[in-house]
């Protein structure tokens, strides 16, 4: 929860600095955001590759475990497709790109803004990136606050599906407490796989 609030704070701070014309215009028009994206992707690779549990997880992967990330994707895309019918401004592929963030708001928002700028223009692409930031941030917050209810009404795997890419880090403690310690491994594996899928799925849906 604290991490989510920090993200909102720095996002608001960035908006204020941008409006104040604090940075030279040449910096804002350059490719700095793309380099930041490359750096972020590099960091994602390091965080996954350096996880000490990665080798154990890969050795003990059971095919049935793949059904949980698959359920997360199917549920997310189905809900997003239905919601897109109420949002005529955005195409279904753009809405699916937002949903493909799977609560990884920092990466998906930047990626969507960069990939959609050539077709939508910078202002509209930025708006879509902001929507991705807020939507995926809300998903993480809902998992943090709603996990006890998810377990009560939908079963122990529900918080894992709800948390998506965050189940390997920020939402892992609440999932462990509500779903049980025996699902820690499942939660970490699920989070890693969802984390890994974000850049590929977002890029795919942004290509339309």
Rg of the chain, C-alpha, whole Å = 18
Residue at token pair 């359920």: 71
Mean pLDDT for the chain overall: 82
User: 98: closest CA among 123, 125, 68?
Assistant: 125
Q: What is the pLDDT of residues 35-80, one digit of tens each?
A: 665 666 576 566 656 666 656 656 666 777 789 999 999 999 999 9
Residue 26 has pLDDT above 50, yes or no: no
Q: What is the pLDDT of residues 87-119, one digit of tens each?
A: 999 999 999 999 999 998 888 988 999 999 999
Q: What is the pLDDT of residues 142-174, one digit of tens each?
A: 998 899 999 999 999 999 999 999 998 888 888
pLDDT of residue 43: 66
The pair of structure tokens assigned to 200 is: 């590929």
What is the CB neighbour count within 10 angstroms for residue 25? 8
**Using DSSP, how many helices (H) and how many strands (E) does the chain show?**
11, 0
What span, in angstroms and rounded, lies between the C-alpha atoms of 126 and 24?
19
The pair of structure tokens assigned to 169 is: 């880090």
Phi, psi of 126 (to 5 degrees): -65, -40
Burial of 28 (0-12, 13-18, 19+ CB in 10 A): exposed
Per domain, the residue ranges of the chain are 67-208
Residues 6+ apart with CB under 8 A from 68: 157, 160, 161, 186, 190
Contact 83, 95 (CB under 8 A): yes
SS3 call for 134: helix
Contact 108, 136 (CB under 8 A): yes
Task: Please give the C-alpha separations between residue 36 and each of 39, 42, 111, in angstroms, as whole numbers.
Answer: 5, 10, 10
Residue 125 has pLDDT above 70, yes or no: yes
The predicted model scores a pTM of 0.76
């Amino acid at each position: 929860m604290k991490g989510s609030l920090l993200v909102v704070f720095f996002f608001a701070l960035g908006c204020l600095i941008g409006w104040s014309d604090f940075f030279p215009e040449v910096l804002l028009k350059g490719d700095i955001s793309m380099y930041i994206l490359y750096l972020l992707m590099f960091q994602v690779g390091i965080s996954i590759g350096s996880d000490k549990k990665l080798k154990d997880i890969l050795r003990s992967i059971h095919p049935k475990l793949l059904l949980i990330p698959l359920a997360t994707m199917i549920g997310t895309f189905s809900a997003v497709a239905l919601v897109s019918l109420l949002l005529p401004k955005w195409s279904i592929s753009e809405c699916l790109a937002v949903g493909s963030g799977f609560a990884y708001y920092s990466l998906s928002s930047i990626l969507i803004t960069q990939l959609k700028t050539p077709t939508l223009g910078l202002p509209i692409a930025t708006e879509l990136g902001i929507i991705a930031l807020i939507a995926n941030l809300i998903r993480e917050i809902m998992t943090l606050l709603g996990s006890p209810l998810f377990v009560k009404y939908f079963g122990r795997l529900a918080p894992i599906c709800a948390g998506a890419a965050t189940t390997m880090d920020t939402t892992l403690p609440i999932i462990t407490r509500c779903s049980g310690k025996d699902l820690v491994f499942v939660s970490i594996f699920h989070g890693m796989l969802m984390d890994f899928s974000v850049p590929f799925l977002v890029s795919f849906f942004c290509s339309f």
